[in-house]
Amino acid sequence: MGLKILITGGLGYIGAHVCAVLHQKGYRIVLMDNLSNSFLQMYHQLITLLGEQSLEFEKKDISRPDEVKELFRKHSDIKGVIHLAALKSVNQSIAQPLSYYHNNVGGLITLLSEVKSKNIPFLFSSSCTVYGQADQLPIKENTSLKPSFSPYGFTKQVGEQIIKDTAKANDSFKAMSLRYFNPIGAHPSSLIGEWPIGEPQNLVPYITQVGIGKRKELKIFGDTYDTTDGTCIRDYIHVMDLAEAHVLGLETLFSSNSNHYVYNVGLGKGVSVKEMVSRFEKVSERPIKYKISKARKGDVPIAYADASRIRHQLNWQPKYSINDALLSAWNWEKYLHSNNDHKE
Ligand code: NAD
Ligand code: UD1
Q: pLDDT tens digit string along 105-158?
A: 999 999 999 998 898 999 999 999 999 989 999 999 999 998 888 999 999 999
Query: Which pLDDT band, with edges at 50, 70 and 90, does 215 fall under?
Result: very high
Catalytic residues: 152
In the predicted structure, residue 173 carries a pLDDT above the cut 60: yes
Query: Which pLDDT band, with edges at 50, 70 and 90, does 340 fall under?
Result: low
| Residue closest to 18 by CA, chosen among 192, 141, 163 | 192
Query: Which ligand 1 atom is nearest residue 63's CA?
Result: 18
Cβ of 187 closer than 6 Å to ligand 2, yes or no, is no
Report which residue type is found at 127: S
The model's pLDDT over 282-296, given as tens digits with 9 standing for 90+, comes to 999 999 999 999 999
Cβ of 265 closer than 6 Å to ligand 1, yes or no, is no
Q: 107-115 and 65-74 helices cross at what angle (nearest 10)? A: 40
* Portion of the chain with pLDDT greater than 70, in percent: 99
Ligand 1 test: best mutation among 125, 130, 163, 234, most atoms within 8 Å of CB?
125
Cα-based distances in Å from 165 to 116, 121, 162, 175 = 11, 15, 5, 11
Cβ of 183 closer than 6 Å to ligand 1, yes or no, is yes
Integer Cα distance of 257 and 252 in angstroms = 9
Determine if the pTM surpasses 0.85.
yes
Ligand 2 test: best mutation among 14, 179, 195, 203, most atoms within 8 Å of CB?
203
In the predicted structure, residue 160 carries a pLDDT above the cut 60: yes
Residue-averaged pLDDT of the chain = 96
Cβ of 179 closer than 6 Å to ligand 2, yes or no, is no
In the predicted structure, residue 341 carries a pLDDT above the cut 50: no
Top pLDDT among 172 and 310 is at 310
